[in-house]
Amino acid sequence: MTIEQLKSQICAHLADKTAAVFTGAQLPPKQELEKTLLSALEYPPDPSMGDIAVPCFRLSKTLRMGPPQIAAKLGEGLSDELQYISKADIAGGYLNLTIAPEFYSSALLPEILSKGERWGGSDDGDGKTAVIDYSSPNVCKPFHIGHLGTTVIGHSLKLLLQFTGWKVIGINYLGDWGTQFGKMIVAYNKWGDKEMVENGGVDSLVSLYVMFHNEAAIHPELEDEARAEFHKLEQGDERNHELWKWFLDISIAEYKKTYRLLDIDFDSWLGESFYTDKMPAQVEKLREKGLLKIDNGASIVDLSEYKMPPCLILKSDGSTLYPTRDIAAAVYRQQTYHFDKALYVTSAGQSLHFAQWFKVVELMGYDWYDKLIHVPYGTISVNGSKLATRTGNVVLLRDLFAEAIERVDAIIEEKNPDIENRKAAAEAVGVGAVIFHYLWNSRIKDSNFVMEDALSFDGATGPYVQYTYARTASILAKAGEDAEKEYQPSGYIPNEHEIDLAHQLGLFPERVKAAIDGLEPSVIAHYSYDLATAFNRFYQSTRILSAESDEAKAFRLALTKAAGTTLRSALRLICLKTPEKI
């Protein structure tokens, strides 16, 4: 039995009891009452107050009675009436319930073990499809730490939705079209050559891009040249098209190295360029609907009624813009995938852009407009300083991960030089440290990246939780066959630390739901830390392999196994690997 099932059982009983005790009252139908109670349940802030709190304020108006009196009446005899509830205390307007230790050993743990890797998941999303647009770097510009957010938040949301039954299409909407290519072509023609780009790869493209900006600051006419080259590209000029494709291939090969490190794969790589021939139909539709207005030669959709600046559809020279492409892409994705949800993970700086074109899609009469969801995140600085792309003052994602891996490798070399797969372990922990440190913050908050903090083996860090996982693996390996035996509930009564750990394990499904409801991977980062901490407290206070009885040992090994599996699942959901040895 899960904690959620236990809660439902409690609320069903309390709804019945309310009707039986408060006979004269005008009560809502039983099911409704049950639902109200269920949504009101809380976890007391301090475990000494009990495990589940029923706030009785909710009933006070209907029953015309003070919450403490209601709590007293409902609490009377409750521990005898309800299985697995050992105590019901009244505290102010709350009825605080304590879950009996047997619940954890006889009901919850068998349930968790039988679900195994599926524990925490569900089939809530069965039959539904989500598309997630994430990572989506702009080709020829550096793939830098600013992209960490979209990449790992997006991928984590994909894994979370899949875990709850959704079909998910991950889309890397590459910024592979636009005037930056005109700039690149000008820069390449002026200062680059084949050999330089072939040897230098994406770095040489980025330096050409940076060089262009430095030069254009002094010679603004370069901007006109760039526009002209891009125009030629749009008109299908063969040489420019070849250069474009070449730049694109070099960039994608580079991105793939980072994605491989993160174990990220996309279902679609269709970037902005794919939509060039799909925009005219949408522009036509906007025109037919009378939504286009000419403003200084440009075509716009006026959104003043919605308190937003106009959405730009065509420039005065007829060329399309970022919103135009997004509209065409959304229509294409709806037609291709029939999505029930389309998420766009980008920095909060783009919030207005999304609000504008979502509104335009609504005005165009597409009935799926309300399935479009922008998922914004805050800015990231490194050691307290902000970064600027144009001056080349950036921390590349590739370099950030490489540094983390190298430093972890040095730590492992010092502490545990002989472990097998050292390289893989250093990679998993180095990359994991960066991701965990980043995902720890709620996504909308601006964050600051500090390598030392990320790499610490103490506190709320990736290395700490991964190390805890490795600890569970090592205990199970030492236990050998004993760890393989199927767990049979016995009369064993768990101690306080065991109960805390089992309770944490029981919370996983609720945390997964909360993460999805808030589109917030940080919920899972916090959860895995809470779980790791509960495990370590159990480990430090309780003998596992040399337990005092066979029953105790069987229970503790089962608990260790459940903790390991759940920790691995939780970490997987936030893109962290779990080496067996560190």
**Interaction site with ligand ARG (CB under 6 A):** 133, 136-138, 173, 175, 326, 344, 346
- In the complex, the smallest distance separating the C-beta of residue 137 from ligand ARG, rounded to whole angstroms, is 6
C-beta closer to ligand ARG: residue 57 or 366: 366
C-beta closer to ligand ARG: residue 70 or 313: 313
User: Residue 73's closest CA among 8, 28, 24, 22?
Assistant: 22
C-beta closer to ligand ARG: residue 166 or 173: 173
C-beta closer to ligand ARG: residue 133 or 498: 133
Q: Are 343 and 373 in contact (CB under 8 A)?
A: yes
Q: Give the span between the Cα atoms of 229 and 91, in whole angstroms.
A: 74
Hey, which bits of 319-471 come out as E strands?
341-347, 372-377, 380-382, 447-449
C-beta closer to ligand ARG: residue 345 or 465: 345
How crowded is residue 339: how many other Cβ atoms within 10 Å of its Cβ?
A: 21
Helices (runs of H) and strands (runs of E) counted in the chain:
24, 12
- In the complex, the smallest distance separating the C-beta of residue 333 from ligand ARG, rounded to whole angstroms, is 10
C-beta closer to ligand ARG: residue 120 or 137: 137
C-beta closer to ligand ARG: residue 75 or 178: 178
Q: Could you tell me the end-to-end alpha-carbon distance of the chain, in angstroms, rounded to an integer?
A: 34
- In the complex, the smallest distance separating the C-beta of residue 229 from ligand ARG, rounded to whole angstroms, is 20
C-beta closer to ligand ARG: residue 358 or 538: 358
- In the complex, the smallest distance separating the C-beta of residue 273 from ligand ARG, rounded to whole angstroms, is 12
Instruction: Work out the burial of residue 318: count CB atoms within 10 Å of its CB; fewer than 13 is exposed, 13-18 middle, 19 or more buried.
Output: exposed
What is the DSSP code string of 110-139? Answer: HHHHHHGGGTT--STTTT-EEEEE---PBT
Q: Which residues contact 326 (CB under 8 A, 6 or more apart)?
A: 353, 354, 357
C-beta closer to ligand ARG: residue 376 or 509: 376
- In the complex, the smallest distance separating the C-beta of residue 133 from ligand ARG, rounded to whole angstroms, is 5
- In the complex, the smallest distance separating the C-beta of residue 504 from ligand ARG, rounded to whole angstroms, is 36
Phi, psi for residue 451 in degrees, rounded to 5: -55, -45
Q: Give the span between the Cα atoms of 461 and 438, in whole angstroms.
A: 10
- In the complex, the smallest distance separating the C-beta of residue 318 from ligand ARG, rounded to whole angstroms, is 21
User: Residue 535's closest CA among 577, 482, 474, 488?
Assistant: 474
C-beta closer to ligand ARG: residue 96 or 151: 151
Q: Are 554 and 488 in contact (CB under 8 A)?
A: yes
- In the complex, the smallest distance separating the C-beta of residue 234 from ligand ARG, rounded to whole angstroms, is 18
- In the complex, the smallest distance separating the C-beta of residue 153 from ligand ARG, rounded to whole angstroms, is 12
The CA distances from residue 525 to 286, 419, 530, 570, 582, in Å, are 44, 27, 9, 8, 20
Q: Give the span between the Cα atoms of 14 and 202, in whole angstroms.
A: 64
Query: Nearest to ligand ARG by Cβ — which residue?
Result: 175
C-beta closer to ligand ARG: residue 121 or 175: 175
Q: Are 156 and 524 in contact (CB under 8 A)?
A: yes
- In the complex, the smallest distance separating the C-beta of residue 235 from ligand ARG, rounded to whole angstroms, is 23
- In the complex, the smallest distance separating the C-beta of residue 323 from ligand ARG, rounded to whole angstroms, is 9
Phi, psi for residue 29 in degrees, rounded to 5: -55, 150
